[in-house]
Amino acid sequence: MGKVFWLIVGVGVGFVVAHQVNKTPEGRKFFEDVDSKAREFADAVVEGYRAREAELRGELDDEFAAKAG
């Protein structure tokens, strides 16, 4: 129970510190950079997922076509 308490306290302190840092121009730039990189990473993951899904669907379609024909 004590570990959960300290985790919650740590998260709360982190939010307060991040809010204070975001008030400065340098802090805002830092968070914009982090946000941009996180979005790029997420987009790359989604793109890779969709490409792999299309590849697997193509293989399944080929498999079904071979069995049907």
Return the pLDDT at 69: 65
DSSP state of 1: -
- Structure confidence at residue 61 (pLDDT): 86
Range of the domain at 35: 25-69
**60 in a domain, yes or no?**
yes
Reported as type and span, the H/E element at residue 49 is: helix 25-68
69 occurs within a structural domain: yes
| Structural domain contains residue 55 | yes
34-67 pLDDT, tens digit each: 999 999 999 999 999 999 999 999 998 888 888 8
In a domain, 7, yes or no: no
Q: With respect to residue 15, please indicate whether it lies within any of the assigned structural domains.
A: no
Q: Global pTM?
A: 0.65
Per the structure, the count of domains in the chain is 1
Is residue 64 domain-resident?
yes
Q: How far apart are alpha carbons 18 and 34 in whole angstroms?
A: 12
Q: Answer whether residue 3 is part of any domain.
A: no
Interatomic CA distance for residues 18 and 20, integer angstroms: 5
Q: Write down the pLDDT at residue 54.
A: 96
Does any domain span residue 50?
yes
Which residue do the tokens 């997420």 mark? 42
Phi/psi at 23 (nearest 5 deg)? -75, -20
